[in-house]
Amino acid sequence: DIQMTQSPPFVSASVGDSVTITCRASQGITDWLAWYQHKQGKAPKLLIFAASTLQSGVPSRFSGTGSGTDFTLTITRLQPEDSATYYCQQGYTFPGGFTFGPGTKVDVK
Amino acid sequence: QVQLQESGPGLVRPSETLSLECSVSGSSLSNDYYWGWIRQPPGKGLQWIGNIYHSGTTYYNPSLKSRLTMSVDTSRNHFSLQLDSVTAADTAVYYCARLIYTGYGKRCFDYWGQGALVTVSS
Predicted confidence at residue B106, as pLDDT, reads: 87
> Hey, are the CB atoms on A43 and B108 less than 8 Å from each other?
no
Which among B36, B99, B113 has the least Cβ separation from residue A43? B113
Cα(A53)–Cα(A64) distance, integer angstroms = 7
Tell me: the pLDDT tens digits for A2-52? 999 999 999 999 999 999 999 999 999 999 999 999 999 999 999 999 999
CB distance B50–A51 less than 8 Å?
no
* Residues of B with Cβ-Cβ distance to A94 under 8 angstroms: 101, 107
Q: Is the pLDDT of residue B64 over 80?
A: yes
CB atoms within 10 A of CB B55: 9
> B42 CB near a chain A CB, below 8 Å?
no
CA distances from B79 to A22, A57, A92, B98 (A): 34, 28, 24, 11
Interface of A with B in 38-57 (CB under 8 A): 38, 42-46, 49-51, 53, 55
- Between A101 and B104, the more confident residue is A101
What would the pLDDT profile of A71-84 be if each residue is shown by its tens digit? 999 999 999 999 99
What is the largest distance, in Å, between two alpha-carbon atoms of chain A? 39
Instruction: Report whether pLDDT(B105) > 80.
Output: no
Does B109 sit within 8 Å of A49, measured CB to CB? no
